Amino acid sequence: MSGETLPGVEAEPSSRIVLHVDMDCFYASCERLREPELRNNPVVVGMGYEAGETFGAVATASYEARDYGVESAQPISQALERLPRAAEDATDETPTDAADDAVGYYRPVDLDCYRSVAASVKEILHESADVVREVSIDEAYLDVTGRTAWERAPDGERTLAEGYARHVKQRIAREVGVPASVGVAPNMSTAKVASDHDKPDGLVVVEPGNVTAFLDPLPVEAVHGIGPVTADRLSSMGIETAGDLADADPTELRSAFGSRGPELRDRARGIDDREVTPTGRPKSLSRESAFAEATVDQAEKREQVSALASDVAARARNRGATYRTIGIKVVVPPYDVTTREQSLSGPVDEPDLVERVALDLLSEFADDPARKVGVRVSNLSFADGEQAKLDGWEGETAVEGDDHDRKGHDSERPDTGGGQASLDQFDPGE
């Protein structure tokens, strides 16, 4: 599955193939990237939380932490009562009445780090589909109808669509190092339900002829768009499963929920004609590459950056994009992300300039070990027009260095399986 369009595949609604990609406990997964020793241990990431303190709220809790009753949006103080800090993170205020092995690792939200990792995931998603709808920092829909098909693979054991989804999922794990759950279905709402069905690290495929059989036995709150309050109201009407909702009287549903009632009924029946629509043109294009192990070899780093610069410039040209900013990213062990950028006087399409600026910015990190390097062009323009002359380039560094200096918090949304209390869209500038 290299991403080419299979011959004879048509993008008809009946044969649409939608992937819903949902990163599992994304914030915690990012923390494990830079602290591998946290793997398989309870991890809690807090909004408004500072190391050693008891204030703030849980942004995400790993599945291991949830086993102790830690939940998204829970006060950190309450989480600490259920899961005390590990000894190296503990303070005098840390509760100690839990079992010795019931300890967690608490980390403050570092949104810049998470956006950087999300950008790497986003690159894979956009390379894997013709249309991508980015829903949040850890979630996206892909229309891959033109890339694969519902037909069975030659071995007959799985569909081509399942093989393609597995390919996308494995690329994310291999190239970025974070787990994803993927749902595959003929429409968006069913694909969303499928991705939630077998977390974490799941892959669930719902073929066109099996949508009703898949949805009917599920609890009604599994239907996309139904939260606890709506589920309780439906339960009071005798509607407990998706199958019950699919068979419910649409007039009664409209009376109880307005126009949303029949829409939820349609979703329970597997009816969703929405097209996957893109969230707009990207504001940046980037490529990253990890070394087998952290290296201080400047020649090796320069060779990698040169290759990445050439690739990024070629991708920009293929998309008809010019750029005003050229930047690099260097990931220093354990996973400290640092960026540098250079502003230009106007939009250009100059591959040689991308390489020259990237290598010049890299020289600042000559003595630093690097786990990963990346090159990015940003402030993209897709409009036809004259580009800036090369001799108009302003040799002035535009952006700040360490990403960790710029922390932020997101708005809250319900936790629907990924465990993320606060999410925002993939940052198009990343």
CATH assignment at residue 322: 3.30.1490.100
Residue 402 lies in a domain: no
Are residues 293 and 359 both part of a single domain? yes
User: Which of 234, 268, 302 is the last residue in one of the domains?
Assistant: 268
Residues 169-180 have pLDDT tens digits of: 999 999 999 999
> Is residue 70 one of the residues assigned to a domain?
yes
139 catalytic residue (yes or no): yes
The answer to whether residues 328 and 376 touch, using CB atoms and an 8 Å cutoff, is yes
| 262 and 131 in a common domain | yes
At which residue do the structure tokens 């400047």 appear?
298
- Name the DSSP class of 202: -
261 and 121 inside one domain: yes
pLDDT of 350-408, one tens digit each? Answer: 999 999 999 999 999 999 999 889 999 999 988 654 444 443 333 333 332 333 222 22
Residue 177 lies in a domain: yes
Is 204 found in the same domain as 140? Answer: yes
Indicate if the pLDDT at residue 415 is higher than 90. Answer: no
The answer to whether residue 404 is domain-embedded is: no
C-alpha span between 322 and 324 (Å, rounded): 7
Predicted confidence at residue 15, as pLDDT, reads 81
373 and 358 in a single domain? The answer is yes
Instruction: Classify residue 306 by its DSSP letter.
Output: H
| pLDDT of amino acid 14 | 53
Which residue, 64, 92, 110, sits at the end of a domain?
110
Q: Are residues 200 and 232 in the same domain?
A: yes
pLDDT tens digit sequence for 190-222 = 999 999 999 999 999 999 999 999 999 999 999
157 and 243 both lie in a single domain: yes
Any idea which residue has 């070990």 for tokens?
A: 369
User: Are residues 69 and 150 located together in one domain of the fold?
Assistant: no
Q: What is the tally of structural domains in the chain?
A: 3
What's the pLDDT at 282? Answer: 74
Residue 392: per-residue pLDDT: 36
Give the bridge partners for 18, in sequence order. Answer: 143, 185
Q: The tokens of 67 are what?
A: 């086993």
Average the pLDDT over 3-32 and give the result: 74
Residue 132 Rama label (left phi>0; alpha psi -120 to 50; beta): beta
- Burial of residue 326 (CB within 10 Å: 0-12, 13-18, 19+) is buried
The answer to whether position 86 is within a domain reads yes
Q: Measure CA 20 to chain center.
A: 11
Question: What 3-state DSSP class applies to 141?
Answer: strand
| Position 209 in a domain | yes
In a shared domain, residues 217 and 364: no
End-of-domain residue from the set 80, 110, 140: 110
CATH number of the domain that residue 42 is part of: 3.40.1170.60
Across all residues in the chain, what is the average pLDDT? 83
81 is a domain residue: yes
User: 59: alpha, beta or left, given left = phi > 0 and alpha = psi -120 to 50?
Assistant: alpha
User: How many C-beta atoms surround the C-beta of residue 9 within 10 A?
Assistant: 18
Measured between alpha carbons, how far is 338 from 214 in angstroms, rounded to an integer?
A: 45
pLDDT of residue 335: 76
- Quote the domain boundaries for residue 235: 13-24+114-268
Chain center to CA of 116: 10
Sheet strands (E) in 219-335? 284-295, 323-332
The answer to whether position 104 is within a domain reads yes
Looking at the fold, whether 241 and 292 belong to one and the same domain comes out as no
Catalytic residue among 31, 123, 139, 162: 139
Burial of 247-285, coded b for 16+ CB within 10 Å and e otherwise, reads ebeeeebeebbeeebebbbbbbbbebeeebeeeeebbbb
Q: Do 121 and 242 reside in the same domain of the chain? A: yes
CATH of the domain at 181: 3.30.70.270
Residue 292 and residue 382 share a domain: yes
pLDDT band at residue 252 using 50, 70 and 90 as cut-offs: very high
| Cα of 183 vs its chain's centroid, Å | 14
- Residue 286 clears pLDDT 90, i.e. is over it: no
Residue 68's SS3 state is coil
Please say whether the beta carbons of 16 and 143 come within 8 A. Answer: yes
